[in-house]
Amino acid sequence: MQFNTAFASELTWPDYDAAVRDGTTPILIPIGAMEQHGHHMPLHVDVLLPTEFARRVAAQIGALVAPPFTYGYKSHQKSGGGNHLPGTTSLDGATLVAALKDVVKEFTRHGVRKICLVNGHFENSWFIVEAIDLALRELRWDGVTDLKVVVLSYWDFVHKEAICELYPGGFPGWDVEHGGVLETSLMLALHPQFVHLDRAVDHPPATFPPYDVYPVKREWTPAPGTLSSPREASVEKGHILLDVCTRGIIDALRGEFG
Ligand code: ZN
Ligand code: MN
């Protein structure tokens, strides 16, 4: 079924019902966070990026995009700067698991049998897995055994060749790519009005000891909140990332959903 929007919530209920009732239309659920992204980007980067990937993919595979999860699990110091930072607004793990489980079960009640979680915030990862596991278990008790769920994080589709092209000076690793080249380039390509490159702070990639301390030691997080520098970010890199990740996700979902 083709509509002039990829967003499920923009449809009337009869149109939505007609699209999902027989279970063939996949639903893509973007899941992000409200989290500081340095001095140069807004708090909803982790929501905007997976939502746009989902929108692009949905248009190609005939899927619908669910309203995104705009709050996520707590920012970890070594991947998001830490949950102590201003602006970062997070859910307890149990809250996120319960809400996501509810939503997955609701879409299933509508008839949906193909769901993809499009993650944009690293710390959500295991809570997504837990929510899906609980949803599948409860649905099984209700006799529903044909729901298939794909879980992915968009950055995992950036392959080696692209990494070499994007990081000629050496790849710092996805864990410290918080507010760095990846997210800043994508935001420059998609939402330049939200990026203030003149306020970006250049600093070496954050280094941490191989353990965590709680309460966090604030001095471990670079002062601007980013974990690597956005200095080498560019619109061109944003388009490379968009292209590589969108194509990768489309291939994966065509393979899994047919
Ligand atoms: Zn982020
Ligand atoms: Mn994040």
The predicted model gives 48-67 an average pLDDT of 98
- Cβ contact 169:232 at 8 Å: yes
Question: Each residue of 157-171: pLDDT tens digit?
Answer: 999 999 999 999 999
Question: Each residue of 236-248: pLDDT tens digit?
Answer: 999 999 999 999 9
**Of residues 130, 129, 140, 148, the one with CA closest to residue 25:** 148
- The ligand placed nearest to the CA atom of residue 123 is 2
Query: Which amino acid is located at 15 in the chain?
Result: D
* pTM for the full predicted model: 0.97
Q: What is the pLDDT of residue 2?
A: 65
Residue 143 burial (CB < 10 Å; 0-12/13-18/19+)? exposed
69 DSSP β-pair partners: 31
**Of residues 205, 188, 117, 123, the one with CA closest to residue 154:** 117
Q: Which helix (H) or strand (E) holds 115?
A: strand 114-119
Residue 229, φ and ψ in degrees, nearest 5 = -80, 140
Catalytic: which of 40, 44, 46, 52? 46
d(CA 245, CA 251): 10
d(CA 147, CA 49): 26
Annotate 28-78 with three-state secondary structure: EEEECCECCCCCCCCCCHHHHHHHHHHHHHHHHHCCEECCCECCCECCCHH
Would the pLDDT of 56 be above 70?
Answer: yes
Distance 89 CA to ligand 2 centre (A): 11
Question: Sheet of 64-65: strands edge to edge?
Answer: 64-65, 27-31, 114-119, 148-153
Structure confidence at residue 3 as a pLDDT band (50, 70, 90): confident
- Tracing tokens 């959500």 back to the chain, one arrives at 124
- The ligand placed nearest to the CA atom of residue 38 is 1
Distance 240 CA to ligand 1 centre (A): 18
Peptide bond into 26 cis (omega under 30): no
Would the pLDDT of 1 be above 90?
Answer: no
The predicted model gives 33-45 an average pLDDT of 98
**Of residues 78, 66, 62, the one with CA closest to residue 32:** 66
Identify whether 123 is a catalytic site residue: yes
Identify whether 37 is a catalytic site residue: yes
d(CA 230, CA 226): 8
Question: Each residue of 104-119: pLDDT tens digit?
Answer: 999 999 999 999 999 9
The predicted model gives 212-220 an average pLDDT of 97
Identify whether 35 is a catalytic site residue: yes
Question: Each residue of 95-107: pLDDT tens digit?
Answer: 999 999 999 999 9
d(CA 173, CA 79): 10
Flag the least confident range among 43-57, 122-136, 162-176, 184-198: 162-176
Between the CA of residue 137 and those of 101, 109, 151, 152, 167, what are the distances in Å? Answer: 10, 14, 17, 20, 42
Distance 20 CA to ligand 2 centre (A): 31
Identify whether 46 is a catalytic site residue: yes
The predicted model gives 132-138 an average pLDDT of 98
Would the pLDDT of 10 be above 70?
Answer: yes
